[in-house]
Copies of this chain bind each other. A is one copy, B any other.
Amino acid sequence: MPELRKDLVTREWVILAKERAKRPCDFLAKGPRSQAQPVPEQDPKCPFCPGNEALTPPEILAYRPDHSLPNAPGWQVRVVSNKFAALDHRGEPTRSEVGIYDVMEGVGAHEVVIESPEHHLSLGQMESSQVEKVIRAYMERYDALRKDPRLRYILIFQNHGEVAGSSLTHSHSQIVATPVIPQKVWAKIKGVEQYREYREKCPYCDILEYELAARERTICENDSFAAYAPYASRSPFEARIIPRSHQPCFITMGPKEVREFAEILREVLGRLYVSLQDPPYNFTLLNIPCSPNRVYDFHWHLEITPRLTTPAGFEMGTSIYINVTPPEDAARYLREASCPSPSG
């Protein structure tokens, strides 16, 4: 019998179709991904490779030796505006009406974080110290953008692999800041608020406590963070990384937490890389909205969604996902997987 599981925060149900269950190796059926065509260490045509800095908009931020020139090789992490930005950083987010509809100028930010000078390494294969630099760049850009009074929400995310919507191989993540608070973010904020009203606790704190005691869905952990497969996982091998301490935004991390966040992110992505042979995935880093006037409660976290199945009409019409891999199986598989030693 299949099972319906409810997400504690969003209240979305998920159908866990055990009868359709697949083993991890079934997801490899289409053949190994990364091994199919070895990726070179540098690609002369890649706009994110050192030497091609002129192919991107000028850098907004870069970690590079003191003596090196901006927009020239030598950098370790580089942040630039997205050449095909979905939102424009100029102008005011003026709202107006078009007949019965609401419309707003598409003001915001759309930046690209080039995570490493090395063309062939994904985040799960890099040295932890390199991932730490990426996290520092996220924090620095987040901090700058949240001070812009036109912006209401900042999402940091990564698309890895073509199936996951990435058009460039060279590992990069993106930062988009919007002049509105997205409905999906509202739903989570409201979920936290209502759970707290009812149980006088944060649902994420509750989940963390429960998962660390149950040990059925945990993947790995360290002093400051835990990674687990959510009870109502929408897709096979979904994983969540969450800080042990209740904080609404990742920006408050201290040096130890930054290091440990980098370590656990690298570890979870590395285990996915090895055990599912470099699957396509998206990750999203979820924080509170930016708001000078109102304080929201939230427990920040990062969600990793491998793209191993195709959401279709049923998911579109209901937002109920059909998941063929129990998160308990996924977590066990990832726990038992080896983590690649960094090739950086």
Contact residues of A: prevailing secondary structure: mixed
Tell me whether A5 and B313 are in contact (CB under 8 A).
no
Tell me whether B163 and A86 are in contact (CB under 8 A).
no
Residues of B within 8 A of A182 (CB): 12-13, 317-320
Tell me whether B284 and A319 are in contact (CB under 8 A).
no
**If A3-B103, A15-B106 touch, does A312 touch B282 (CB 8 Å cutoff)?**
yes
A185 to chain B, nearest CB (A): 7
Stretch at the interface among A39-47, A173-181, A267-275: A173-181
Name A17's contact: one of B103, B106, B183, B317 (CB within 8 Å).
B106
Tell me whether B12 and A313 are in contact (CB under 8 A).
no
Bound complex: CA A163 to CA B185 (Å): 28
Residues of B within 8 A of A8 (CB): 100-102
Tell me whether A5 and B102 are in contact (CB under 8 A).
yes
Check: A225 CB closer than 8 A to any chain B CB: no
Stretch at the interface among A52-60, A119-127, A150-158, A330-338: A150-158
Tell me whether B316 and A305 are in contact (CB under 8 A).
yes
A94-126 contacts to B, CB under 8 A, are: 98-107
Which of A5, A100, A284 gathers most chain B CB within 10 Å?
A100
Bound complex: CA A163 to CA B5 (Å): 27
Interface residues on A, range: 35 or more
Check: A210 CB closer than 8 A to any chain B CB: yes
**If A3-B106, A20-B86 touch, does A313 touch B158 (CB 8 Å cutoff)?**
yes
Check: A140 CB closer than 8 A to any chain B CB: no
Residues of B within 8 A of A198 (CB): none
Check: A232 CB closer than 8 A to any chain B CB: yes
Residues of B within 8 A of A2 (CB): 85-88, 106
Tell me whether B101 and A176 are in contact (CB under 8 A).
no
Tell me whether A316 and B157 are in contact (CB under 8 A).
yes
A204 to chain B, nearest CB (A): 11
Check: A37 CB closer than 8 A to any chain B CB: no
Check: A290 CB closer than 8 A to any chain B CB: no
A19 to chain B, nearest CB (A): 7
Selected A-B contacts with CB under 8 Å, 29 pairs? A1-B88, A1-B106, A2-B88, A4-B178, A6-B103, A8-B101, A12-B183, A13-B104, A15-B87, A15-B178, A16-B106, A19-B85, A20-B84, A86-B314, A86-B322, A99-B210, A101-B231, A101-B232, A155-B317, A157-B313, A163-B310, A176-B314, A178-B318, A178-B320, A180-B320, A183-B319, A282-B312, A303-B316, A305-B316
Q: Known pairs A174-B314, A183-B319. 14 more at Cβ < 8 A?
A: A1-B106, A4-B180, A11-B183, A101-B232, A153-B318, A157-B317, A163-B310, A164-B313, A165-B311, A174-B313, A182-B317, A182-B318, A184-B318, A303-B317
A residues apposed to B, CB below 8 Å: 1-6, 8, 10-13, 15-17, 19-20, 84-88, 91, 93, 98-107, 153, 155, 157-159, 163-166, 174, 176, 178-180, 182-185, 206-207, 210, 214, 231-232, 282-284, 286, 303, 305, 310-314, 316-320, 322
Question: 6 closest pairs, A vs B, by CB?
Answer: A165-B312, A2-B106, A157-B313, A284-B317, A182-B318, A184-B319
